[in-house]
Structure 1
Amino acid sequence: IMAERKRGLSGENGEQDRPASASKRVRPEGQGHVAALVLARGGSKGIPLKNIKMLAGVPLIGWVLRAARDSDRFDSVWVSTDHDEIEKVAKAWGAKVHRRSPEVSRDSSSSLETIQEFIRLNPEVDIVCHMQATSPCLHPFHIQEALDMITKQGYDSVFSVVRRHQFRWTEIKKGSDERTVPLNLVPTKRPRRQDWDGELCENGSFYFSKKQLIMSEGSLQGGSVTYYEMLPEYSVDIDVDIDWPVAEQRVLRFGYFGRHKPEVVHLMFCNVSGCLTEGRIFLSLSGEEMVSINTRDTAGLRMLKEEGVEVILLVSRLDPVAQSMADKLAQRTGCQVLQVGAEPQEDLNALVEQKKLSWKDVAYMGNDQPDVKCLNLAGLSAVPGDAPVVASNAAKYTCHSKGGSGAVREFCEYILLQKKKAKSQVQQDRIDRHHF
């Protein structure tokens, strides 16, 4: 095996420093069609429909599709699936869909069989990058550097690894002879971590392979093969429920959020109806209409204000219940309350300009069709977990919690996390400039 140590050194932001207007992929002369392929079968046993479950506000599969798209190194990006809902999500994230056959959709079917079927149906493909949806911390620079090892250095296959410093043992059972023996150490001479290079373990993020290797030799790893080493913070895998909260915290810190840098917002607009409230109206015996507000949400708004973010609550002129509670909301949250019409953007554009801000400086939380334009414009935007599809497709973040049940608090915490990341990045930039 030909191998060389290859560690991604582009740093946490990597591709994020590139402008949004970066050019699309231009194929080098003599290089064939390069396709990204994500396998996403609908029959996940550990976590039902895991591939489209929301992770940090994004469908799991969306994280790798965004990294693939923004790498600008693929002629086509595909999702191979047998499930209608996964197909819808894949297309919403800009991927083509390979509708796999029943023969390669069984529990016993291998990834290799599915990839071979994909190549037979798409003979123009020369290089396949098989990316796993369960690797949400993949960044565009990982893809770019690994692909260069095939297109510029001449390897036939490249796969991702992470370096582990773990001592391994195994059991030997032969009749009455049962022993535990070491696999990669001599117990009397245990090395210190700094004196041991560790071992290379596949982390499953991606496998680049040439078509001839896949079809003729029936392998994703062969020919002139090497590895691409990823740092441990980017090596996240999700198999069972217990992995999910750990992965969510990791991806919030090390995931790829797109070509923009972490947004720092100075102003937040929050639609009261459906965000602070749960969408239900209670009627008393005397005919009074009432709604409920979660104290976690109001505490979240106060957290934002304490961090210097101005918060304006929006109530519709068409919603008499919300209007009647405006003064109480202002007293309880300490936030300004603003009435808006059927198209909130028309009322808010002048206010954003008046405060000498642009929409990228604004966070917006809404929950339905009238909010779509603002959700698209805002630097950070969110909807509750029970928002209609038309709104969730426009938002940059979809909360786990439902409206009136902690969704606003969740988004407030997300805004503060982005602010913390941006501050950390500025500090690192200063260190880097001083160092060099």
Structure 2
Amino acid sequence: MKTVAFIFARGGSKGLPGKNIKSLNGKPLLQYSIDTAKKVAQISDIFVSTDCAAIAAVARQNGVKVIERPAELATDTSPEWLSWRHAIDYVTEHFGAFERFVSLPATSPLRNEQDVQAALDKLSSTGADICISVTPANRSPYFNMVRLQADDSVEIVVKPEGAVSRRQDAPAVFDITTVVYAAAVTFIQQHSSIFAGKVVATVVPKIRAVDIDDIYDFMFAEAVLQSELYDAEK
């Protein structure tokens, strides 16, 4: 079963301009995703989808192929799902058919190859349409998240069965991360959203689940990369 990895990295970023090729601990952010993909034995090819010449240059310098993304698929409001479909169509037309799709967003540089392999394994073992990555959430809708009512009172977002006096007693909840997405190509071609099919997840520890959106995320990721704790978790 042929598996192809993609990194979707557009040029426009309002939160942190130029972030996808900004130097993080000595190398472009984009390169972290490329390096990880190269370590996964089941991945047979790697493509970077971008609308930006500078990003494309970094991709080629790292030995991966580039897909020129149309401008209409590279705006702030463009659904990434459509970019996924565009990339699949491009690779199928120019390089032949493949069965498994992996997306490794450049904004998650702290993942490792085991995180990617875990998603591929879960996808295969469960027969799911897509495997996403999640990490334990800090807050819980069963315990410390509330919503405002019309009379200015508040209520818990999800009322648990019975009393919950400690967060540890509430059902475990997780945040979706951008560490890895692994999916059947036919699922992406035939549907329009992640939760349109059978979705499974692989759990990633918080230290590897950083998603860089602004300079504070970037600074945190750099601090983690330089820490002994991250070396121990790799």
TM-score (ref. length: structure 1): 0.48
**Residues 210-269 of structure 1: CA distance to partner in whole angstroms, max 9, x if unpaired?**
11111111223443321101111111111111222111111233799xxxxxxxxxxxxx
Equivalence for 1:391? none
Equivalence for 1:144? 117
Q: 1:253 aligns with which of 206, 222, 227?
A: 227
The answer as to 2:47 corresponding to 1:78 is yes
Equivalence for 2:6? 37
Q: Which amino acid aligns with 1:87?
A: A
**Residues 96-133 of structure 1: CA distance to partner in whole angstroms, max 9, x if unpaired?**
11110122122211110111111122221322111111
Deviation at 1:173, TM superposition (A): 5.6
Q: 1:239 aligns with which of 197, 213, 233?
A: 213
Equivalence for 1:223? 197
Deviation at 1:183, TM superposition (A): 1.5
Equivalence for 2:131? 158
Q: Percent identity?
A: 28
The answer as to 2:148 corresponding to 1:172 is yes
**Residues 19-66 of structure 1: CA distance to partner in whole angstroms, max 9, x if unpaired?**
xxxxxxxxxxxx2x2111111000001111100001111211111111
Aligned-partner Cα distance in 2 for 1:130–1:255: 26
Relative to structure 2, which stretch is displaced further, 213-222 or 157-166? 213-222
Equivalence for 1:58? 27
The answer as to 2:81 corresponding to 1:112 is yes
| SS in structure 2 at match of 1:112 | helix
The answer as to 2:177 corresponding to 1:203 is yes
Aligned-partner Cα distance in 1 for 2:215–2:60: 26
The answer as to 2:105 corresponding to 1:132 is yes
Aligned-partner Cα distance in 2 for 1:254–1:195: 32
1:237-386 equivalent positions in 2, closer than 5 A: 237-253=211-227
Q: Which amino acid aligns with 2:130?
A: S
Aligned-partner Cα distance in 2 for 1:45–1:54: 17
Q: Which amino acid aligns with 1:56?
A: N
**Residues 265-287 of structure 1: CA distance to partner in whole angstroms, max 9, x if unpaired?**
xxxxxxxxxxxxxxxxxxxxxxx
Change (3 A) 1:193 1:181: closer
Change (3 A) 1:199 1:82: same
- Aligned pairs, number: 225
Deviation at 1:185, TM superposition (A): 5.8
Aligned-partner Cα distance in 2 for 1:185–1:66: 44
**Residues 341-382 of structure 1: CA distance to partner in whole angstroms, max 9, x if unpaired?**
xxxxxxxxxxxxxxxxxxxxxxxxxxxxxxxxxxxxxxxxxx
**Residues 84-103 of structure 1: CA distance to partner in whole angstroms, max 9, x if unpaired?**
11001111222211110122
Change (3 A) 1:255 1:88: farther
Deviation at 1:165, TM superposition (A): 4.1
2:8/2:49 contact within 8 Å kept: yes
Aligned-partner Cα distance in 2 for 1:204–1:104: 19
RMSD: 2.4
Structure 1 outlier segments of 4+, above 4 Å: none
| SS in structure 2 at match of 1:246 | helix
**Residues 261-316 of structure 1: CA distance to partner in whole angstroms, max 9, x if unpaired?**
xxxxxxxxxxxxxxxxxxxxxxxxxxxxxxxxxxxxxxxxxxxxxxxxxxxxxxxx
Larger radius of gyration: 1
1:158/1:221 contact within 8 Å kept: no
Q: Which amino acid aligns with 2:7?
A: V
Unmatched 5+ residue regions in structure 1? 1-30, 257-420, 426-436
Aligned-partner Cα distance in 2 for 1:106–1:254: 38
2:6/2:47 contact within 8 Å kept: yes
| SS in structure 2 at match of 1:244 | helix
